[in-house]
Copies of this chain bind each other. A is one copy, B any other.
Amino acid sequence: MGKNKAYLNCLQRDEAQALWRKRLSDSGYFEGLPAEPLPVTAALGRVTARTVYARQSVPHYNGSAMDGIAVYAPDTYGAQETAPERLTLLPAGAPFAPGGCYMVDTGDAMPDGTNAVIMIEDVHIAEGKAEIIAAAAPWQHVRIIGEDIVAGELVIPEHHVIAPVDIAALLAAGLDTVAVIKKPKVAVIPTGDEIVATRAELQPGAILDVNSHMLAAAVTEWGGEAVRKTIVSDRREAIQQAVVESLAESDMVIINAGTSAGREDYTAQVLSAIGEVLVHGVAIKPGKPVVLSLCQGKPVIGLPGYPVSAMLTAELFVRDVLLARQKLPPQAPPQMEAALAKTVASTIGMEEYVRVSIGDVQGRWIAAPLSRGAGMMSSLTKAQGIIRVDRGSAGLPAGLVLPVTLLRKHRPARTILAVGSHDLALELLGLFLRRRLDNISLSCANVGSMGGIMAIRNKEAHIAGIHLLDEPSGCYNIPFVKKYLPDRKGGLVHLAMREQGLIVRPGNPKGITGFGDLARPDLAYINRQRGSGTRMLLDYELNKAGIPAAAITGYDKEVGTHMAVAASVASGTVDTGLGVRASALALGLDFIPVAQEQYDLLLNFLPDDDCQPAIIDILQSAEFRREVESLGGYDLRDAGRVIPL
């Protein structure tokens, strides 16, 4: 618990990258790389260590380039239409005699004595003779030796990534093995007393080591050979020993976690003892506690422990170094422009990176920011792109068009952005949609029903799931659409009637029966966020029952999804919360129904988009209804009905 918050130095990202690259370069890390011979047939994707010269010419013999007859050109001089020449057909293998010729197919070796080919179409063959009506120039229709590649010529330059066509050329040019740059070996050392290797050891307070697997996979993608080491405890000597051992057998060492200055932080100390720490702390968010060092002429990198931070800093400080160590150019992932779906706040002085989903909403590319916590693994899996907020900026306004760096090699052709209230049925809709339309995906951002309506109004989403109860009319959704989207004439489609209820621990140990119990002093409640339909339902019911919000312990603790409510109850930290039955069922909890509410979808597609009819069709299908109803607490008898506005 040493609370020393000071980083050795805290550089800007670009300064850190430049210093890092320069010092590695100065140390000769990118020169004189070790090579290994490989069979050409096993060298796909590898990088040549040296220029490769042909050992054999291609073609390796003079061959006919046509089907026809092989002749000695001077024998044909004088042949013309009015005075055809007749050559004697010699059997294959017979010695050449003046005035003779041989039948040849494309690719056949030219028989000794011949030096030209006449196409079969221009020859009349009869009675063992070939009649020709034009002279042949020497070497016509002959592929001469070395026409393609000459022995001694360069076949492939050094530092060239071997593609399938290169394998063919190398083999044809007489090479069976090729010297390639050895894959750089990268040791990945997970550290931390709280980190465990197996699920069996996973007690509260323990964290499964997933980062070392993620980083090893990234190293593999970047052409390195990753070696995952066993987990090292938060002891200085243990970490030092692990680094020293890894240095002996690796070209690069990554230490994960233990880099924050605010906790058991031995990484920087250890690396200062073994080598030179060049950078400790970079003004980026997430990822600040990164440590970059040079030990025994090799890079040793301390990456932060949170997965989002670890991945980002690996992309910034590991990837290009690893590529350069293979003589590969830095990766320049493709970029595109998109409009920000919502305002992104940022800290001046820190360069911030925010992961986003990207979708084309009515012809405009929208980047929807995902959860920003450094521990949010879901933001890593859902992200299709990443945006950077410059260090001079206090944030980016919604609607700003900005460059998005794309993260996935295989990006779905279309992403449907679903923004609004969360429901498991939406995930199932995504699944059915993928089966119906090629190459599509559904990305859900859970911002509550009102957030969904606003996203539709700003043309920042394709779908909003809403369940908003209008208190005066007791009517769901329509009054809100009419109020906030007055010009809208369609696109509201019913999905389900669903039960809302109080989620309680199995057996309902606290004997909760309904809203009336929520003010009991022995109960802890977990709430949903403002603007969500569930929150509105609660407020409506509390109002009806005359219960003040302040009387409920936990009213001000908000979570963003039904499942998070259920998880809070399951953990025992709260006694109850309002949510749908499906989320209670998923975690084996009990459920006290208190209301049935109308969950509808607001759709936002161009008239000719095939997505809207597909969605309605899916909602009306028996398969979809069956699958959603099997989650429990849903009534889909009217699913897919278009609600008049």
Contacts and interface: CB of A to CB of B under 8 A. Distances in A.
A151 B586 contact: yes
Given A213-B171, A413-B329, A587-B151, A63 B205 contact: yes
Contacts of A143: 375
Given A105-B263, A210-B171, A554-B138, A115 B157 contact: no
Contacts of A194: 107-108
A622 interface: no
Interface string A375-390: 1111011010000000
A300 B103 CA distance: 32
Interface in A29-46: 40-41, 44-45
A214 B378 contact: no
A643 interface: no
B376 A567 contact: no
B61 A157 contact: no
A60 interface: yes
Contacts of A383: 165
Interface stretch (A215-223, A267-275, A338-346, A529-537): A215-223
Contacts of A51: 431
Contacts of A334: 334
A173 B378 CA distance: 10
Interface stretch (A239-247, A276-284, A473-481, A557-565): A557-565
Given A109-B205, A567-B57, A553 B146 contact: no
A110 B574 CA distance: 13
A67 B159 contact: no
B205 A61 contact: yes
A119 to B, nearest CB: 10
Given A138-B524, A556-B138, A144 B176 contact: no
A427 interface: yes
A221 B165 contact: no
Nearest to A112: B572
B430 A137 contact: no
A165 B214 contact: yes
In this complex, the member of A381, A442, A568, A586 whose beta carbon has the largest number of chain B beta carbons within 10 angstroms is: A381
A98 interface: no
Interface stretch (A404-412, A458-466, A512-520, A608-616): A404-412
A571 B62 contact: yes
Contacts of A217: 41, 44, 163-164, 167
Q: Please give me the 7 A-B residue pairs with the lowest Cβ-Cβ distance, nearest first.
A: A146-B567, A150-B563, A61-B204, A109-B204, A152-B586, A109-B205, A164-B217
